[in-house]
């Protein structure tokens, strides 16, 4: 059998949808074609200026109930918190006493429902690793009107086979079958929506607009004013970007393709070695992708119909080993895509420069300490903002000692007052006494 047939057969046996299989086969075709998978600096131009979020929402009325009924809030919720010592969905990490990421997401959607006195659809794109924990936690909201059955808010992420580097056939590991598969990246959103039937179901219910973001980005809150602007703009796809800082120089940036002036997204994995300095030049490439996207579902449906059921995203090919813990195990390729790269697929797609408060991801225990402190305030609607004493600038926290890598270590560290801090760096094991107040630049 040809490798294509083996891949298709393997995915069919696993019960994966035709949309997922077609997306995978698109990636294999790109890999086999020999086409360059990098985006050279000579092929692109920097993006000079973009519309400003604050100007757009200031001059726009909030969405009414009729418009909010046409929106779905989709949160990417497939990640585990393993890098911080958690063996369950990352969104279940506590950020304030009795409150985790998932609780805030639910608060935000319920606040929208109360504001407009109408139902607002929530979808959580779970992975096989996060589904059970997430749905169990959501049971506590059974009487809120958020769903009839807890399964009504789940969109399941697909998985794809790892491929042997020499033949592009799917790897076979009879004693460790779980290692035969890998996640396809968040570009899987489009195949997951189509293959699960959710895309057709949403459109049949009159839902045309999707707001998509990562569940660990606590700044990514659905906004009724921007929804109205998006609906009036008639744009099929809008990406929220924000100004890059030194902390963001490894993140994917927006650019203009010289060949046709199309907005595109370039990730570091698509960058040749000699172009890395230009990629990381934040004064040249000023805007990076927050992974907050607004998508017209009818435009997505039509586009996929016209393109053989796929969104032809650029493919990122990662050379790995079948067992990530064993560098001597079978060499494989893992193919993935980025959902933001779809900006290059839709004519009329736009990007909007948003304030930094729209991008507040939690990746490390340093981020967690900031969230748990008084420098960050969270209200009953799930809206997060910096304390007034911060004057709009989040304290920079660096927990450098290895003992602080896992989230359990934060309990031993304690939570000092940080709302008057500019920088806090801790290089040694430490414990703060209760009610400790820090100010200015602190280095321990």
> What does the block give as tokens for 261?
């002036």
Find out whether 415 and 397 touch, Cβ atoms under 8 Å: no
Burial of 128 per CB tally in 10 Å (0-12, 13-18, 19+): middle
Contact 102, 140 (CB under 8 A): no
Q: Is residue 37 within 8 Å of 317, Cβ to Cβ? A: yes
CB count within 10 Å of CB 63 equals 25
Strand partners for 421: 440
Q: Which of 361, 345, 339, 344 is nearest to 158 (CA)?
A: 339
d(CA 49, CA 233): 18
Locate 185 and state its tokens: 């990246």
Query: Which two structure tokens, joined as six digits, stand for 81?
Result: 């918190």
Closest to 37 in 3D by CA, of 319, 258, 272, 270? 270
What is the spatial distance between Cα 311 and Cα 109, in angstroms, rounded to a whole number?
28
Residue 363 a catalytic site member: yes
Catalytic pick from 88, 363, 405, 419? 363
Give the active site residues. Answer: 363
């Amino acid at each position: 059998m040809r490798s294509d047939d083996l891949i298709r057969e393997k995915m069919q046996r696993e019960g994966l949808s035709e949309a997922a299989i077609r997306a995978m086969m698109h990636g294999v075709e790109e890999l086999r074609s020999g086409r360059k998978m990098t985006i050279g600096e000579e092929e692109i131009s920097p993006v000079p200026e973009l519309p400003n979020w604050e100007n757009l929402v200031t001059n726009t009325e909030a969405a009414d109930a009729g418009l909010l009924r046409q929106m779905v809030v989709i949160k990417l919720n497939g990640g585990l918190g393993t890098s911080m010592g958690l063996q369950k969905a990352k969104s279940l990490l506590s950020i304030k006493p009795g409150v985790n990421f998932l609780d805030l997401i639910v608060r935000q959607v319920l606040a929208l429902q109360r504001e407009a006195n109408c139902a607002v659809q929530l979808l959580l794109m779970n992975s096989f690793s996060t589904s059970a924990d997430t749905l169990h936690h959501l049971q506590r909201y059974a009487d809120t009107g958020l769903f009839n059955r807890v399964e009504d808010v789940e969109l399941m992420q697909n998985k794809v086979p790892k491929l042997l580097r020499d033949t592009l056939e799917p790897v076979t590991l009879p004693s460790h079958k779980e290692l035969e598969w890998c996640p396809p990246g968040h570009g899987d959103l489009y195949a997951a929506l189509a293959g699960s039937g959710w895309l057709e179901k949403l459109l049949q219910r009159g839902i045309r607009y999707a707001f998509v973001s990562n569940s660990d980005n606590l700044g990514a809150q659905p906004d009724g004013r921007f929804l109205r602007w998006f609906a009036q703009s008639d744009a099929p796809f809008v990406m929220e970007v924000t100004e890059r800082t030194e902390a963001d120089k490894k993140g994917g940036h927006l650019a203009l393709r010289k060949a046709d002036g199309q907005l595109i997204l370039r990730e570091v994995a698509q960058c040749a070695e000699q172009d890395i300095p230009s990629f990381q030049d934040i004064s040249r490439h000023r805007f990076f992708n927050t992974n907050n996207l607004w998508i017209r579902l009818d435009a997505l449906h039509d586009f996929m119909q016209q393109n053989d059921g796929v969104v032809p995203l650029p493919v990122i090919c990662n050379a790995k080993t079948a067992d990530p813990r064993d560098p001597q195990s079978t060499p494989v390729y893992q193919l993935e895509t980025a959902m933001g790269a779809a900006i290059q697929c839709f004519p009329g797609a736009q990007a909007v420069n948003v304030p930094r408060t729209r991008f507040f991801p939690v990746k490390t225990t340093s981020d967690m300490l900031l969230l748990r402190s008084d420098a960050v305030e969270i209200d009953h609607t799930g809206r997060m903002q910096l304390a007034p004493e911060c004057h709009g600038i989040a304290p920079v926290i660096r927990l450098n000692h290895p003992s602080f890598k896992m989230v359990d270590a934060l309990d031993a560290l304690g939570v000092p007052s940080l709302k008057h801090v500019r920088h806090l760096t801790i290089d040694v094991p430490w414990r703060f006494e209760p009610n400790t107040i820090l100010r200015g630049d602190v280095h321990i």
